[in-house]
Structure 1
């Protein structure tokens, strides 16, 4: 034999093996009917409330109140700025935002999702921001935001990734 199946077996075995392999592969793609998805409704309620509390904290203009929602290993991706991936860099970025004159900030979650394992979650939604720049010129922005939350060892949820970006078109200086 040369390592190949004899022709008479190949015509019978190969279709059978293909059906078996397809059944095996497709069974791995679906959860068995007896395994229910975990119920994370309490986590969804908790995260929704925490995000609403975070908005209230931001509206106090307190950097410390804002920072309380971040995990020690958090990363912040502010728009038009470098990544802030240390507590000091995050504090500086949030401090700069909080220093905006007449700042009015708000965001609303559109969707909250908890992972099947129950240890990670993400929230996305929209934000609005108004204030005045350093020269006193009014600014107004609106856009989208996304947060990734991780359940800590003590069961508390903390944000590990925070980002937001404007829906407004980028201003391009006139070329004269």
Structure 2
């Protein structure tokens, strides 16, 4: 009995040396989980992050209007990027893990070299990242993510804006080809879901469905033909909005004479960068020149 008491006292004072598995912690475990998810992300596979999501995860990034709540909503937001992300090299800088019980906070800077979305221009993206992990049933899961851009270098920002302008110019070239081919699906895909279009002598068209219905009627005109002459593309310093302006020439069947009539005019299209990096038209307005 006395021997048992002595052993118990020694264990109480100095510890048993047999630390429970639940209390063993290696910061590299958290860092390795994050690296693995980032590597898969750079190959267009968000599955690594899907595997790490807790059911109640919350999320912020520069493209979200507000916080995203819950695994289902976050998967819905991320899933469209599947197969569209390509990153040549990922560099995780100075990762640091701070742990308190079953919570661990991972912070680091990230550089994505040769980052490309949906075949668009390659860029170098620099991020600040905070990932909050919680141990759930013995496994570390992400319960909150916060991504923000590192303060950009002015010259690099200009390079990105030029790349965005090129992407919009290429998109407008394809758009003009779609008009020439009377490809309704391709024409409408140029617009964002919530886009609006102002056409002469018509109410404002709000949303893709209204735009599609009106353009379908226009394209049914056997004399319809449209050519665009882009003149200028300007991307905002924030990198999320842009506008394009230029001239156009359109031929329609005159309602009175039933003969082809050609009109010329000017247009302005406002673009917004989408979450997947593509640019979509959110407002399109044109007006005819005086005959």
Q: Same fold (TM over 0.5)?
A: yes
Structure 1: gaps spanning 5 or more residues? 1-34, 170-176
Q: For 1:36-115, list aligned pairs within 5 A.
A: 36=154, 38-39=157-158, 40-115=161-236
Contact 2:176 2:228 in 1 (8 A): yes
Contact 1:101 1:133 in 2 (8 A): no
Q: In structure 1, what is the equivalent of residue 251 of structure 2?
A: 130
Residues 1:147 and 2:266 are matched in the alignment:
no
Moved over 2 A (4+): 35-38, 131-136
Contact 1:100 1:133 in 2 (8 A): no
Deviation at 1:133, TM superposition (A): 3.5
Q: How many Å separate the matches in 2 of 1:159 and 1:86? A: 11
Q: How many Å separate the matches in 2 of 1:42 and 1:36? A: 14
Deviation at 1:44, TM superposition (A): 1.0
Deviation at 1:97, TM superposition (A): 1.9
What do the CA deviations read for 1:19-74 (whole angstroms, capped 9, x no partner)? xxxxxxxxxxxxxxxx7362111111111111111000111112212101010110
> How many residue pairs end up in the alignment?
135
What do the CA deviations read for 1:125-154 (whole angstroms, capped 9, x no partner)? 000012323563121100001100100001
Specify the SS of the correspondent of 1:82: coil
Specify the SS of the correspondent of 1:155: coil
Contact 1:126 1:142 in 2 (8 A): yes
Specify the SS of the correspondent of 1:118: coil
Contact 1:76 1:161 in 2 (8 A): yes
Larger radius of gyration: 2
Deviation at 1:98, TM superposition (A): 1.2
Q: Normalising by the residue count of structure 2, what TM-score does the alignment of the two structures yield? A: 0.44
Whose strand fraction is larger, Structure 1's or Structure 2's? 2
Contact 2:223 2:260 in 1 (8 A): no
Specify the SS of the correspondent of 2:226: strand
Specify the SS of the correspondent of 2:245: strand
Contact 2:192 2:208 in 1 (8 A): no
